Structure 1
Amino acid sequence: MREPVYLDYNATAPARPEVIAAVTEAMALPGNPSSVHTAGRQARRAVEDARAQVARMVGTIAPNVVFTSGATEANNIALRGWDRPMRVLTSSVEHPSVIEALEAERIPVTSTGLLDLDALRALLEKPNDRQALVSVMLVNNETGVIQPMAEIIALAREYDAVLHCDAVQAAGKLPLDFDESGLDLLSLSGHKIGGPKGIGALVVNPKHHIRSLIHGGGQEKGRRSGTENVAGCVGFGVAAEIALEEIEKQSHYKDLRDRLETAVSKALPQVVVIGDGAERVGTVTCLALPGVGSETQVMAMDLAGIAISAGSACSSGKVKRSQVVSAMGYGDEIAGSSIRVSLGWATTEADIDRFVEAYVAFAGRQVAATG
């Protein structure tokens, strides 16, 4: 039986061996990091070392990093953790943890998935008693499209808006410098870069006071109560260190992604590559096979031993029409037939070729059956 192929890194990356070893060792630390005895101080040191590692990955200092249970919580704190009402503006292609966090005004995107900067300016120009909070992800989780963050930051500054960036899919793929960028808030996730699941972080500019959504204990300097996940923090730190060291490998992933898209497009000219007119990271491709539902494609690949996904993986196992592809202006035929193939640290050329072989054969059968 052939070995399974894993091509769903944007949902979660397989844990790095170094991470597994570090987490195993950290699990043996008995102390609570809030305790003052020796065991507690050892646990605290492990958490603070990890905080420094995550901070280095994104170009900031350790005190600006708030550990959370994941990026979903980080996004919710960024949007809801204010002691005053904010006027929230988010792009129409954000992750569900932003879209569903609270009522907000949506900023449209172009057909390539890029934020409509004129529309953002028009929204910011509207008179409003509340300060604007703009939330835009740097790299889209479905298409890999990179947003023009420097221009978005400049616009936010022009109108005295606070700017939050979901950088979950950018970490380890693009150089990040929080302190130099002008961002106010930045969300991260451990398991997207080969760290453990259930750990994330919110990076906060110290000029802002963010209040905790979880009360009781006052951990993380009062910004996120609850005993820290010591082993999760340690694993996240190790993954962050590796991601920073290997960021130059992104051209390799782009070569693999291009190999996949070229082969599929040559064999199946009807396939649409979503977002290919914009700058994208090289670790993901979003393909649409018109007339064949996303769920059918995902199940067919799974039967072939290949793990891919359709849309965001944070939907309790549901496969539904892509909200991101719809927001880019595509109709139901395309939005309901899009899949996501994402690569990472263990992906090989053989994996790509296995996918192409299986996908082209499946699509050929579908085309023959319908016509």
Structure 2
Amino acid sequence: MKNLLDYNMEELMVWLKENSESSFRAKQIFSWIYKGIFSFDEMKNLPKNLKEKLNSNFKIYIPEVVDVYSSNLDGTKKMLLKLEDGNLIESVIMKYKHGNTICVSTQVGCRMGCKFCASTIEGRVRNLTSGEILGQVLRAGEVEGERISNIVLMGSGEPLDNYDNVVKFLREVNAEYGLNIGQRHITLSTCGLVPKIRDLSNEGLNVTLAISLHAFSDEKRREIMPIANKYSISEILEECRNYIEKTNRRVTFEYSLVKDINDSKEDAKALSKLLKGILCHVNLIPVNEIKENSFKRSSEKTIEDFAQILKSAGIEATVRREMGSDINAACGQLRRSYMKNKA
């Protein structure tokens, strides 16, 4: 049986017509769903025979909450969610002055192999459907009891490795009949799948593109990111310039600072030179230490110096505020811990 959340308005209207029902019912159905009603029988303005057809052909499934971990430091909530096939994913709700942000997963696991990331250790299990990604946002609104106003696709998985489902999700979450979250309030993070960045540039979307860069040279990047063996930094930057030209949006470059690997003043100067002239922002991220590797977090002084060198060169840079550090809020940590304990 199909999950109705995997359908958009046009697809549901087509199904309704094919099943001798009025297409305007699609808007009514989605209106109920986005009010938190996930049972066709509770949709009061639908006729009985339509409810029967819907129940025979569809379900409305959003991921089940296995557990919610709340930070005592900043109100961050990490949800461990179970999909219908039993697979586990994580989503993080972060509270800011400008509203509630959810970090969603786009795959169960990840096959990109970045050495600093816990979600890639066992590889990719499968892609999430557009409805499963959307379901995380719906569940977060229910758990938080407040509107989710911002989305970052930075959880487990490489979004552009699940391109079609992710693009469909972006359109659905932005739709006026749904959550109507503005595209400028959505950030998609990629490790640099060059052909897919090019495709995204041509979608007519206006989301913020974030590139997981983490090094100024291909040689250094290959040490920590296997994708660097396939796509060079120059190729990625070319597509970033293309994205900026098409969308008139600045690109964010994410840079995880790892002690004695990529955090020297020379690294900062080289990065400044590399990004000079590009409409961009650098998001410096103190690396999350995980037991599966030996990467260590840079000192506060090193991080501060790195940021200052970028700013002095005219590159806008900020240090990411660490959220939920007391609940292992980084990607993949909670899922791995839960599965290990259960085993």
Q: What TM-score results when the alignment is normalised by the length of structure 1?
A: 0.28
Kindly indicate whether structure 1 or structure 2 has the higher relative contact order, using CA contacts under 8 Å at least 6 residues apart.
Answer: 1
Output the TM-score relative to the length of structure 2.
Answer: 0.30
